[in-house]
Amino acid sequence: MPAFDPIVLVPVYNHEHAIGDVVAALLAHPVNCLLVDDGSKASCAQVLDDLAARHAGRVRLLRLPHNQGKGGAMMAGFADAALHGHTHVLQIDADGQHDTDCVPQFLALARDNPAAMICGAPRYDNTVPLGRLLGRYLTHVWVWINTLSLEIRDSMCGLRVYPLAPVTELLAEERLGRRMDFDTEVLVRLNWRGVPIISVPTPVTYPADGVSHFRLLEDNVLISRMHARLFFGMLRRLPRLLGRKVGLA
């Protein structure tokens, strides 16, 4: 097994006002970062260029020619991380929602459990919008149905560590959603493949001036279609999933 070699991957789309603070907080820890510019506007692209130049050797910039969605940015980042020989990818969102002081704990768990997904289980403060909270709970219920388990406590948290080998294998064999549906779908499909999920409580704050790229109509349609795809996928896998629960698979 190769030596543990993680990288922090931050997908960025027009977060020029937050990304500098996020990178500074990340670099307070002994980690290197890969920023994936998902087709940002010129002002954000310039901020990312400046960060990569200022922190050369610790921050690498991958620029996509046009916006591909969060999932598309993550897939491009996975490919780049694999090309550079990394074993794990720690994903953290660019908007400053997540406490970067959790990074050492997440990486330590990944080092001790190299085959597992390490996933944030949000602890919200009073900044969380009620609509977001209700929508997330509905998604959680569908995830529990589609995995026949409660192992995935939260499938939408943007702070997590991926073991790169099973993710690379999954992406080579399956076509996954490339936008806001990605975070949930990749976890369910990794769970189906037997990848362990370790959930870690983590604080989440919604910045008052945060930038959201969630498209109310389009992304809700994508997520609904994803849940439908996963439900029928679960039905095809039902004997194996039930067998796993009773120790036969």
Strands (E), 92-190: 117-124, 160-163
> One digit per residue, pLDDT tens: the chain, 249 residues?
679 999 999 999 999 999 999 999 999 999 999 999 999 999 999 999 999 999 999 999 999 999 999 999 999 999 999 999 999 999 999 999 999 999 999 999 999 999 999 999 988 776 666 656 666 678 888 999 999 999 999 998 999 999 999 999 999 999 998 888 899 999 999 999 999 999 999 988 876 555 555 555 566 677 888 888 899 999 989 888 888 877 655
Query: Residue 42: which residues within 8 A CB-CB, separation 6 or more?
Result: none
Closest by CA position to 94, among listed 61, 136, 66: 61
Distance from the Cα of residue 4 to its chain's centroid: 19
Distance from the Cα of residue 10 to its chain's centroid: 9
Query: What does the block give as tokens for 249?
Result: 């698979």
What residue spans define the domains of the chain?
6-245
Q: Which residue is associated with the tokens 């307070």?
A: 28
Q: How confident is the model at residue 1, as a pLDDT? A: 66
Q: How confident is the model at residue 243, as a pLDDT? A: 83
Closest by CA position to 110, among listed 29, 33, 8, 182: 8
Q: How confident is the model at residue 30, as a pLDDT? A: 97
What's the predicted TM-score (pTM) here? Answer: 0.89
CA distance 232 to 138: 18
Q: Which CATH class is domain 6-245?
A: alpha beta
Q: How confident is the model at residue 140, as a pLDDT? A: 87
Question: Burial level of 182, CB count in 10 A (0-12/13-18/19+)?
Answer: buried
Q: How confident is the model at residue 220, as a pLDDT? A: 65
Q: How confident is the model at residue 205, as a pLDDT? A: 83
